[in-house]
């Protein structure tokens, strides 16, 4: 390689090492947060049976079952009203877990509890697989929210110990289906704000190992608003 190519190679190699180091720091920060917050009076750990394994799902049946869902979430999982989440492109495992939590009362929403009452485990997996196969229409962030939102999403806040969102949800918001971390890119900012506030107050408590409650409690209103906008435009 030429001298110039050597410089480019080592520069890219160094950047890669820095990124890996940042991800490791964020991971251990989250692990420490979860360990320390479990004893916090405001966080009550519940058993949500977080093990989800999907192997024989039928997306065609899921499409048939999704007809009642369309009224709020859209026929293809792209909801128009920002108070209801987009389901298109969401991991089947995460959707299945949420439906199961609604049915078992571990996530509370009167409307959803009624919708899932008659669903079997297989139905939930079929629905999850159908929506996972749909294309998310994504969205756009308000320009004035991008700087702070990007900082929180990619770096967190060292002053308060807030970890970066991308440590679990990935650089592009694609999530991690095995760990039941949802895909969040393109999600409505209004919905994300609501969920973060519910995690912060403890009103929503079906997060795996209390991870989201341990994180949201460290966030300010401005950070919640900005990062939700940034996520809406993430792609």
Per domain, the residue ranges of the chain are 59-132
What gap in Å lies between CA 21 and CA 233, rounded to an integer?
26
pLDDT at position 202, please?
Answer: 98
pLDDT at position 2, please?
Answer: 56
Pick from 205, 210, 206, 193: nearest CA to 96 = 206
Contact in structure between 232 and 139 (CB atoms under 8 Å): yes
What gap in Å lies between CA 18 and CA 7, rounded to an integer?
16
pLDDT at position 41, please?
Answer: 38
Q: Which two tokens stand for residue 95?
A: 């959707």
pLDDT at position 50, please?
Answer: 65
| Helices 92-104 + 121-132 axis angle, to 10 | 140
pLDDT < 70: residue spans in the chain: 1-50
Fold of 59-132: Cytochrome Bc1 Complex; Chain D, domain 2 (1.10.760)
Q: Which two tokens stand for residue 117?
A: 């009452």
pLDDT at position 93, please?
Answer: 97
pLDDT at position 68, please?
Answer: 97
What gap in Å lies between CA 96 and CA 74, rounded to an integer?
18
Pick from 40, 46, 102: nearest CA to 69 = 102
Strand partners, 181: 176
- The sign one gets for the Cα dihedral 175, 96, 213, 216 is positive
Contact in structure between 213 and 132 (CB atoms under 8 Å): no
Q: 171: exposed, middle or buried (C-beta count within 10 Å: 0-12, 13-18, 19+)?
A: middle
Residue 162 per-residue DSSP state = B
Q: Which two tokens stand for residue 186?
A: 């393109």
What gap in Å lies between CA 173 and CA 166, rounded to an integer?
7
What gap in Å lies between CA 115 and CA 118, rounded to an integer?
7
- The pTM of the full predicted model, rounded to 2 decimals, is 0.80
pLDDT at position 55, please?
Answer: 81
The per-residue pLDDT for range 207-227, each reduced to its tens digit, is 999 999 999 999 999 999 999
């Amino acid at each position: 390689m030429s001298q110039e190519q050597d410089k480019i190679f080592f520069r890219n190699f160094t950047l890669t090492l820095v990124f890996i180091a940042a991800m490791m720091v964020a991971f251990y920060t989250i692990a420490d947060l979860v360990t320390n917050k479990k004893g916090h009076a405001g966080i009550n750990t519940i058993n949500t049976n977080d093990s989800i394994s999907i192997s024989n799902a039928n997306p065609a049946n899921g499409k048939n079952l999704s007809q009642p869902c369309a009224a709020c979430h859209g026929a293809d999982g792209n909801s128009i009203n920002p108070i209801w989440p987009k389901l298109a492109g969401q991991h089947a495992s995460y959707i299945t877990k949420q439906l199961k939590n609604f049915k078992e009362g571990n996530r509370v929403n009167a409307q959803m509890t009624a919708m899932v009452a008659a669903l079997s485990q297989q139905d939930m997996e079929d629905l999850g697989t159908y929506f996972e196969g749909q294309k998310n229409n994504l969205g756009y962030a308000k320009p004035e929210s991008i700087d702070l939102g990007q900082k929180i999403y990619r770096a967190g806040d060292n002053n308060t110990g807030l970890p970066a969102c991308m440590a679990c949800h990935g650089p592009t918001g694609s999530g991690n289906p095995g760990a039941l971390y949802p895909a969040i890119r393109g999600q409505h900012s209004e919905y994300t704000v609501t969920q973060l506030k519910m995690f912060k107050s403890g009103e929503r408590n079906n997060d795996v190992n209390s991870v989201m409650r341990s994180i949201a409690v460290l966030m300010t209103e401005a950070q919640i608003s900005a990062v939700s906008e940034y996520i809406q435009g993430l792609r």
